[in-house]
Structure 1
Amino acid sequence: MGCCTVLCGLKAGIGIGFAVVVLGLILLPAGNLIIQQAVEKESVLEAGTTAWENFGAVGPPVYRQFWLFDVQNPLDVVENGSKPRVVERGPYTYRTRYMPKTQIMPNPENHTVSFLLPMGAIFEPSMSVGSEGDYVTALNMAVAAGYKLLPPFILEAAIKMNNVSLFQRRTVGELLWGYQDPILKSTLGFFYPYNGTFDGPYRVFTGKDDIAKVAKIDTWQGETKVSFWNSTYCNMINGSDATSFPPFVDMEKPLYFFVSDIARSVSAEYVGSLDLKGIEVYRFKLPSLTLASPVENPDNMCYCSDPVVTRNCTMAGVLDLGPYRGVPVFISLPHFLHGSAYLAEAIEGLGPTEEHHFTYLDVEPTTGFTLRAAKRLQINMLYGPSSVITVLKKVKDYTVFPLVWLNETASVDDETAEMIKRELFSRMDMLETLQFTLIGLGVAGFVLCVVAHCVLSRRNKHV
C-alpha cells in the first residue's frame, strides 16, 4: 500500500513536472508577445505613452562643436597661386536644441502630429579652446559667392571699391553667426540666420494605426517631398528625423532619416553592437556611398548640378547645396572624408580619418530610440580662375575650400539610462528568469520523479 502510494505520488510529480515545463515553454512565445505589445503600446505618439513623454521633452543636451579652418598663407595664395595651407581652430562648442518642440498639434484623423523645432545656440566656454572673439583668417564668402553669382567685372569693381581680398580676418562669432558684409551690404555667416529660427514644420506619423510608421516624416515644411533635386527619387523624404525609429530594429536593414540641413534623405548601415551605460545599442553608420560620385553610385546623379565643377559628375564626397540654399555652398564630410583624393590634396593641412570624421547613430533596438549620435558635416565654398578678377588671376583650378566642420553630438544621460534599464529591461529580465526557472524546475522535477519511479518499480518487481 505504501509503495503504491509513493508510485502514485511520483507519477503525479512526473505529470506536474511535465506541466511546469510546458508552462515555461508556453511562456517563451507568450512572454515575447507580451513584451512586444507593451513596447508597441508605449511607442505610439499619443498622450500617456513613454514615446509621447519623450517627444514633448527637451531631451538630452545637444552640442555643436565647430572647427574653423584658419588660412596661414593668404597673400601667397593670391599673389603666387600657391596651394592654401590651413590649420584647424577648435572646438568652439555651443549647446543647441535646448528648447522643446513647439506648436505640437496632434492630427487624429490621419494619425500624425505636427510640430516646429526651435533653433538656438548658447556658447559653452568650458568646452571650447577659446572665446568667440578669437580671430581666424577664412575664405571671403562674398567673393566666393560673387564668383558664381555675379558678372566678373561687377565683382572686380566691388572688391576694389571695398578693399577686400579672397580671404578675410574675422572673429569666430562673426563667421559662425553673422557679420555685415561690405560687398553684399547684408549679413553673412556660416550659419546665419540661426538663433530665433525654426526647423520645420514637421508632420510625423504617430504609429497608432501602424507601429512600423511611428516617427516617420509625413511632411516637412508642408510638403511630402522636396523640390530641389533633379529627380523624384532624390526629392523623396524618407524615414524619421533620426531621433527615433520604429521599435524592434532589424540590424539587417538600413535606417533611413531626413537631414534638413542638406534637404535630403540618407541611410545608415549596421556596423556592430556596443554597450552604452549598461544598455546594448546598435551602431549605424553613414556609408561611404552617401556622397559617392554618380560613377560609383548612379543614384547620386540627380545631385550633380554643375558638371564643370564636378568634373563631369565624377567628383565624390561633395553635395552642391546651391539648388537648396540659392548660394554656392558645398557640403562634405570633415576633411573631405570619402571624397575624391584631389579635394584634400588641394589644401595643405587636411587629413581625413574615419575615427574622427564619420557620422553614426547608436540605437536601442527594442524601443528604436537613438541614445547617442554624432552628425559630422563640413561647409565649403568654391572659387576658381578668372582673367578679370584680380585676386583670382593666379588661381590655377577650381577649389572647393573648407570653411568649418561641425560635430553635433547627443548622448543619453545617466538618469534616463537607468530609467530605461529599470522600466524596460528589468521587466524583460524578470520575465525571462521566470520562464527559464519554470523550465528548469519542471525538467528537474520531471527527471527526478521518472528516475525515482523507475528505481522503485524495479525494486518492487524483485520483492
Structure 2
Amino acid sequence: MLQCGLLAGAVFGAALAILGGILIPVGDQIIQSTVEKEAVIVPGTTAYENWISSAAFVYRQMWLFDVQNALDVVELGATPIVKERGPYTYKVRYLAKSNITAHNDAVSFLLPNGAIFEPDMSVGSEDDLVTTLNLAVAGAYSLVPKNLHFFLDHIIKSTKSSLFQRRSVREILWGYQDPILKDILGVFYPYNGTFDGYYTVNTGQDDISRVQHILSHPNSKLSFWNDTYCDTLNGTDASSFPPFVDKNKPIYFFSSDICRSVSSTFRETQDLWGIEVYRYVLPPSTFASPSINPDNKCFCTEKLVSRNCSMAGVLDVGPCRGGAPVYISLPHFLHGSDYLRQDVLGLNPSEENHFTYLDIEPITGFTLSFAKRLQVNMMYGPSKVISVLKHVKEYTVFPIVWLNETATLDEATADRIKAELFSRINLLENVQMSLIGIGAATFALCLVSYCCKHAELLTYH
C-alpha cells in the first residue's frame, strides 16, 4: 500500500511539473496580451495616461559659450577662445498634449512648448551677461547674396554691431530686438506659447508593432534633403516604443530638432528603482561624414563649409530652417572632425557627459529615463567686403549653446508602474515556476522514497 502511495505521489508531482510547463506558453500569451492591451494609445490604458502628459518633469539645462577674446578675433584674426557658462536650467514639456483628435488607428495632437526658469538649479540669473556670436551677422552672411554684402557691411557699421555681441542669457536663448534686422532674434525664439506638431501617430490598435510610430508632422513631409532615404520618417518620438523590445535590433525615432530620423543601439542593462531597463545610445555614425557612413551622404547639402562633405560631427539643418546657417552637433563637437575644435578653442568633448541615451523598459517599451544632448552652432566665414569678417581665415562652425534635456522616473511612479502592471506579470510567472518547482520536488521525493523502500524489501527477502 505504501509503495502505491509513493508511486501515486510521484505521478502527481510529475503532473504538477508538466502542468507548470504547459502553462509557460499559455502564461506568456497572457502576459503578451496584457502588455499589448496596456500599450495601445486609447483612453483607459497605462500608455494613454503616460502619453497625455509626462509622468516625470523634463528639465533642459543650458550651457552657453562665452567668447574670451572677441576683439582679437575681429581685429587680429585670432582663433576664438570660449568658456562654458552654465547650467541655466528650465522646466519644459510640463504642458499636456492638446487638440487631441482620434481617427481610425491614429491620433493627432499638438505638443505645447513652454519653459520656466529654475533658479535653484542654475549657476546664476537669466540676467547674466555672455559674449556670444552675433546671430544677425552670422545669419545675414549666408542669407544675403554676396553682391549685396557691401549694403550689409554698411548696416553693421551704422548699428555699431560686430561679429560678437554681449547679451543676457535670457536674450540669447529666448529673444531680443536685433538692431540689424529690426526683428526679434534668439536661439530658441519663438518658444513659449508655440507648439511642436501637428503630430499624427499610430495608436497600435490594429498592429501593436506600429504603436506610437509617427505618421505625419509638419517637418516630416520631408523634402529638405531631396533624397528618399533621408526624407523618410521612421520610428516614434522616443517617448515610447512598441512593447517587447529586442536589444539585438536598433530602435528608430524622429527628432523635429534636427528634421530627421535617427537610430539608437543597445549599450547595457540598467536598474531604475528596481525596474530593469535597456540603455540605448546614439552611435558615433549618427553625425559621421559620408566617407564613414554612406547613409549620411544625402544630409550633406553643400560642399564648401563641409569641405566636400568630409566634415564629421555636425548636421547642417539650414534646409529646414529657412536657409539659416544653423548646424546641430553633439556637445563640444563630440565625435566631430578635429578641425572643428581647432577653429574654436576651449572645447573638451566627453563621452560620459555629452552622449545621448534612452532607458527603455523592454516589456512595455516605455522610455523611463533619457538625456537628449545637442549643441546649436552657427556658421560664418571670410569676407573681403564685410569689415568684421575681413580677418576671418576659414569657414567656422561656432558653438552658441549646448543643452541637456533630461527626465527620469521617480521612485513613487516606478512603484505605481510595478504595482499596476508588473505585479500581474510577476504573479503569473511565479505561479508557473511554483507549479514546476513543487511538482518536480514532489516527484523526486516520492520517487526516491519508493526506490529506497523497494530496496529495503529486496534486502529483507
Structure-2-length-normalised TM-score: 0.97
Q: Deviations over 1:406-431 (max 9, x none)?
A: 11101112221111222233333332
Partners in 1 of 2:345 and 2:234 — Cα distance?
37
Three-state SS of the structure 2 residue aligned to 1:138 is strand
Give yes or no for the alignment of 1:126 onto 2:123: no
Contact kept? 1:58, 1:101, Cα under 8 Å: no
Deviates more, 1:128-137 or 1:28-37: 28-37
Partners in 1 of 2:304 and 2:50 — Cα distance?
47
The offset of 1:322, in angstroms, is: 1.1
**What is the total number of aligned residue pairs between the two structures?**
456
* Equivalent residues in 2 for 1:87-98, closer than 5 Å: 87-98=83-94
Partners in 2 of 1:336 and 1:443 — Cα distance?
59
Q: Deviations over 1:49-74 (max 9, x none)?
A: 11112122343100111100001111
Give yes or no for the alignment of 1:243 onto 2:239: yes
Partner of 1:437: 434
Partners in 1 of 2:317 and 2:445 — Cα distance?
73
* Equivalent residues in 2 for 1:19-34, closer than 5 Å: 19-34=15-30
Partner of 1:417: 414
Partner of 1:386: 383
Q: Deviations over 1:198-250 (max 9, x none)?
A: 000111101111110001111113x8631211201101110000000000100
Give yes or no for the alignment of 1:307 onto 2:313: no
Partner of 2:358: 361
Three-state SS of the structure 2 residue aligned to 1:290 is helix
The offset of 1:445, in angstroms, is: 1.4
Give yes or no for the alignment of 1:210 onto 2:207: yes
Q: Which amino acid aligns with 1:312?
A: N
Give yes or no for the alignment of 1:61 onto 2:57: yes
Partner of 2:100: 104
Structure-1-length-normalised TM-score: 0.96
The offset of 1:36, in angstroms, is: 1.0
Partner of 2:285: 289
Give yes or no for the alignment of 1:145 onto 2:142: no
Q: Deviations over 1:1-36 (max 9, x none)?
A: xxxx22222221121111111011112222222111
Partners in 2 of 1:458 and 1:121 — Cα distance?
81
The offset of 1:75, in angstroms, is: 0.5
Three-state SS of the structure 2 residue aligned to 1:433 is helix
Partner of 1:346: 343
Residues 321 and 92 (structure 1 numbering): CA distance in 2 closer, same or farther, change over 3 Å?
same
Where structure 2 has 5 or more consecutive residues not aligned to the other structure, the ranges are none
The offset of 1:314, in angstroms, is: 0.5
Three-state SS of the structure 2 residue aligned to 1:67 is strand
* Equivalent residues in 2 for 1:260-271, closer than 5 Å: 260-271=256-267
Partners in 1 of 2:246 and 2:350 — Cα distance?
28
Contact kept? 2:371, 2:406, Cα under 8 Å: yes
Deviates more, 1:7-16 or 1:125-134: 7-16
Partners in 1 of 2:328 and 2:296 — Cα distance?
14
Q: Which amino acid aligns with 1:186?
A: D
Contact kept? 1:334, 1:405, Cα under 8 Å: yes
Partners in 2 of 1:353 and 1:218 — Cα distance?
35
Partners in 1 of 2:338 and 2:262 — Cα distance?
23
Q: Deviations over 1:129-184 (max 9, x none)?
A: 00110000001011101111122112101111111111101000000000010001
**Aligned residues: CA RMSD:** 1.3
Partners in 2 of 1:236 and 1:10 — Cα distance?
67
Residue 47 of structure 2, aligned match among 30, 42, 51: 51
Q: Which amino acid aligns with 2:3?
A: L
Contact kept? 2:64, 2:85, Cα under 8 Å: yes
Three-state SS of the structure 2 residue aligned to 1:7 is helix
Three-state SS of the structure 1 residue aligned to 2:373 is strand
Partners in 1 of 2:302 and 2:187 — Cα distance?
22
Give yes or no for the alignment of 1:321 onto 2:317: yes
Partners in 2 of 1:458 and 1:287 — Cα distance?
66
Contact kept? 1:70, 1:136, Cα under 8 Å: yes
Partners in 2 of 1:19 and 1:316 — Cα distance?
63
Contact kept? 2:220, 2:259, Cα under 8 Å: no
Q: Which amino acid aligns with 1:258?
A: F
Q: Which amino acid aligns with 2:386?
A: I
Partner of 2:130: 136
Partners in 2 of 1:317 and 1:53 — Cα distance?
37
Q: Deviations over 1:52-107 (max 9, x none)?
A: 12122343100111100001111000010000011111000000011000011111
